[in-house]
Amino acid sequence: MSPAFIMFFGPPGCGKGTQAKKVTDELPLVQISTGELFRKHLGEKTPLGLEAQKYMSQGALVPDEITIGMVRERLEEPDCHNGAIFDGFPRTGDQALALDNLLAEMNSKLHMVVDFELPIEISRQRLMARQEGRTDDKPEVIEKRLNDHAAIEASVMPHYHAHKGLVKTVDANRPIDVIYQDVMALIKPLVG
């Protein structure tokens, strides 16, 4: 079976990272979370991590060149051979184009976009309650990330909506396990 590449989209706090983790525990896919990759680099104090932190701590996007290069490297690792779930990537139109190109170089493509829908007010409540010690979970940075989400959506989603049937929506304002059932029903048929 050829690899399956899936993108999870949604506002901060929509639970896409949680769902991606659950899916990758059960199916032979890897989670590629650009936020987590940046945090891992920062933890290891790599030059990339220290550079990314300048942007992340402000709630700003890390420049495309850095982000795309990091995803390219990650995709070259052998554990991606069955496919991946992109979580938090792409966030710009150029990242979306770059992802298409990266997957085309692998003779593959993006097979599905799962759009996690959540009212902004619920998103705000969840982030305010989140206690993971992330430096970007401060109230003013949370507000910026929430405000920027609409622009991110506008720059990324039209690219995918142009492909009929590619985007599947999931109501993210429900319990984790209920959402997970819907997510698995969508993804399982794509994975051998």
Where on the chain is the footprint of ligand ADP (CB under 6 A)? 12, 34-35, 38, 55-56, 59-62, 67, 88-91, 95, 136, 145
Upstream peptide bond of 11 is cis (omega within 30 degrees of 0): no
Shortest reach from residue 33's CB to ligand ADP, in Å: 6
Nearer to ligand ADP, 4 or 31 (CB): 31
What DSSP character marks residue 175?
A: -
Distance in Å, CB of 189 to ligand ADP, minimum: 27
Number of H helices, E strands in the chain: 8, 5
If DSSP codes are grouped into helix, strand and coil, which group holds residue 133?
coil
Which SS3 state, helix, strand or coil, does residue 81 take?
coil
Query: Closest distance between ligand ADP and the C-beta of residue 149, in Å?
Result: 8
Is the Cβ of residue 35 or residue 83 nearer to ligand ADP in the bound state?
35
Q: How far is CA 100 from CA 7, 24, 51, 94, 123, in A?
A: 12, 22, 25, 10, 29
Nearest residue to ligand ADP by CB is: 35
- In this complex, which beta carbon is closest to ligand ADP, that of residue 145 or of residue 191? 145
* Least distance in angstroms from the C-beta of 144 to ligand ADP: 9
Closest to ligand ADP by CB, 2 or 57:
57
140 neighbors 128 (Cβ within 8 angstroms): no
Q: What is the edge-to-edge ordering of all strands in the sheet holding 167-171?
A: 30-33, 83-87, 4-9, 112-117, 167-171
- The nearest distance, CB 1 to ligand ADP, in angstroms, is 28
- Residue among 27 and 68 whose Cβ is closer to ligand ADP: 68
